[in-house]
Structure 1
């Protein structure tokens, strides 16, 4: 691993870089007509990551993770998008989260190929730009959706009457569309400044080139401002501010539920033993009366908390090294650390998109059952033989799985399983108002 002091820069360039980057200096070795920011030029001169055995091990891990992530998120999209008969608001949130993760895992093979080629991007500038744009799009969309889910849970607890009238599936789709548009706007600078540059050792680097659309007299200022602006904006908009809103939302939920529990306990203690109606009313508010709804609510809350915790753990290292990347403009001795550690932190970010479907599966009791039923029906179709008796049997099986008459026993079982899955994603559904809630949730 070569140090900056051992690079092929002239001594006067090394001395000037260790203190501060000189204004209007491109430090470009490959092409005199092409402008590069000093930080990028330093990376161009470095020759790192030449341990082939370690690289092959990392490539193998990436290959397994990418295949697993695509399969998992594809199954989540299939179940929520096509197997769920009636979608709820919470199902819309999770569906969009899964779509964002699925797009990210689709780019994992590109990153794996980069590692396979000894940390050299050989796929061209178009795929380089596409991979980076999807990566940052997922970053902003995930943060936005997790924030919206937390606010949604908070409103369900603190404003139940308002949510009964305004919380609809159509509104959820509009909010998700707004989130995707907001994420696209924030990811646009990374789309504009992403390019492929050739290093001194002939390897290619897919990286931010903030010298694009700049001139030699403004290069020094543009590089510093653009590097700092993109790093600080993504940390604030995709990490710090969402976490503050999430923390406030769940603190409000805990305080509100604690106050509600105290009010119920005080009413029980003050209630007269002779008031049968009051006794029945409070018994309906007891845990035994809300056992199913509370269980489903806790399952979804546990899933949301697990997804948020995984998001924090996977993204913290990345944002830390992004800040170090900005600092490397002034302290060039940490450039090697940033160049080696940032891909590792990026790998951890990709792992977030792989872990989310696992959290969905273990948090939702009926989710894994629906996947097994869907896969079972699929593979039965694959091994089907075209015999008359088999076709009749298959037709009878389809009628039992998707009955047209709701009065049949098989229809009752199917509707019961589907409703259990729907209630998991929206615990406010009431058996007495099922027809009314179907249209809204």
Structure 2
């Protein structure tokens, strides 16, 4: 949507100024262009795919695969991506309304915090996964002795807590800002919570804006990116010394992380540093919604890069889907109305079948055992009769 105001003025507004500014506010009617419609459609598609992918991963990996270090990493990543995908429709609604927020101040803060939480959590967790893989390849003896599921769970819990702490400023400085064309923006307001000895509000807002932008850039993007690059180079160097070849998937993950988050982070830095009314600032204000859409793609691409790229996981997911469909479409479920499944029942059936198939896969190695065509060895075709048992007892007593 077109913006006829500067974000700097909007992000440094006291409550009294917002109230005065909105006296002549008119009813806003969205005027969407082709780019807006494309982004809205893309958001809807990304949201649906992200929810389905990450729900599937949580069900299959959580109930269908034996707990391991890798599955623990994947479960935590899928939980964060599912949270982001579930809140993406609200951002889509915001764009469909022409950047007019209609869901209240509290939910504005929650929805924005979820986006920034995923930004920090994904960076921290992907860096931890890269370091873990690096240790396995470069220091295999150390990894064998000290890596454990309990240790990974503690690391993941620490990452969750660290990401929550990092988004506290973004939660506190999010506000509903009323503008003259009738819109309610869900945006930063750095004028909130001013100190008692404040002399220059604009300077305070600029300082807070720069601190948050550079802190977010360093913690959520640059430091994780450097760790991922270092791990990638260390693994490749170690494998090259052993004469082993490394597949391109690790490089694809690195490039995907960079392409998803770099545009948003760089545009934020440019928007903070550019002077008011500068062409760069105007460009970044228009480009930020597109960059945010690209960043949301990360929640959809992570399952493909970290889960569905594994042949074993793909096979197990395919088996679990087949089991669910066989159960739902079985003659018993069609004949008896009570066998019909609601969405909640289908989810429960999916989990139950996944758990059962996990045991089945563990005992058969993933291959269906051939059905026996005859009686077990050493037995007759029919159960022994009572008369036959009496004869054998008399023979045993004579001996």
Q: Could you say which residue in structure 2 is the equivalent of 1:258? A: 240
Q: Distance in 1 between matches of 2:163 and 2:358?
A: 42
Q: Could you say which residue in structure 1 is the equivalent of 2:219? A: 237
Q: Report if the CA contact (8 A) 2:39-2:293 is conserved.
A: no
Alpha-carbon deviation of 1:330? Answer: 4.6
Alpha-carbon deviation of 1:49? Answer: 8.3
Q: Distance in 1 between matches of 2:125 and 2:207?
A: 29
| One of 174, 181, 188 as aligned partner of 1:194 | 174
Q: Indicate yes or no: 2:206 matched with 1:224.
A: yes
| One of 49, 58, 66 as aligned partner of 2:39 | 58
Q: Distance in 1 between matches of 2:184 and 2:11?
A: 19
Q: Which runs of 5+ in 1 are unaligned?
A: 8-16, 262-286, 288-293, 392-397, 418-441
Q: Could you say which residue in structure 2 is the equivalent of 1:106? A: 86
* Secondary structure of the corresponding residue to residue 107 of structure 1: helix
Q: Could you report, residue by residue, the CA deviation over 1:266-303 in whole angstroms, capped at 9, with x for unpaired residues?
A: xxxxxxxxxxxxxxxxxxxxx8xxxxxx9xxx6xx754
Q: Distance in 2 between matches of 1:134 and 1:171?
A: 26
Q: Report if the CA contact (8 A) 1:28-1:35 is conserved.
A: no
Q: Could you say which residue in structure 1 is the equivalent of 2:270? A: 324
| One of 299, 318, 321 as aligned partner of 1:372 | 318
Q: Which runs of 5+ in 2 are unaligned?
A: 340-351, 370-399
Q: Distance in 1 between matches of 2:3 and 2:119?
A: 32
| One of 152, 155, 158 as aligned partner of 1:172 | 152
Q: Could you say which residue in structure 1 is the equivalent of 2:118? A: 138
Q: Distance in 1 between matches of 2:237 and 2:358?
A: 47
Q: Report if the CA contact (8 A) 1:59-1:116 is conserved.
A: yes
Q: Could you report, residue by residue, the CA deviation over 1:89-111 in whole angstroms, capped at 9, with x for unpaired residues?
A: 12211221111111111111001
Alpha-carbon deviation of 1:322? Answer: 0.5
Cα root mean square deviation, aligned: 3.8
What is the TM-score with the length of structure 1 in the denominator? 0.69
Q: Could you say which residue in structure 1 is the equivalent of 2:345? A: none
Q: Report if the CA contact (8 A) 2:76-2:156 is conserved.
A: yes
* Secondary structure of the corresponding residue to residue 298 of structure 2: helix
What is the TM-score with the length of structure 2 in the denominator? 0.76
Q: Which has the larger radius of gyration?
A: 2
Q: Indicate yes or no: 2:255 matched with 1:309.
A: yes
Q: Distance in 1 between matches of 2:54 and 2:109?
A: 23
Q: Distance in 2 between matches of 1:134 and 1:252?
A: 33
Alpha-carbon deviation of 1:2? Answer: 7.2
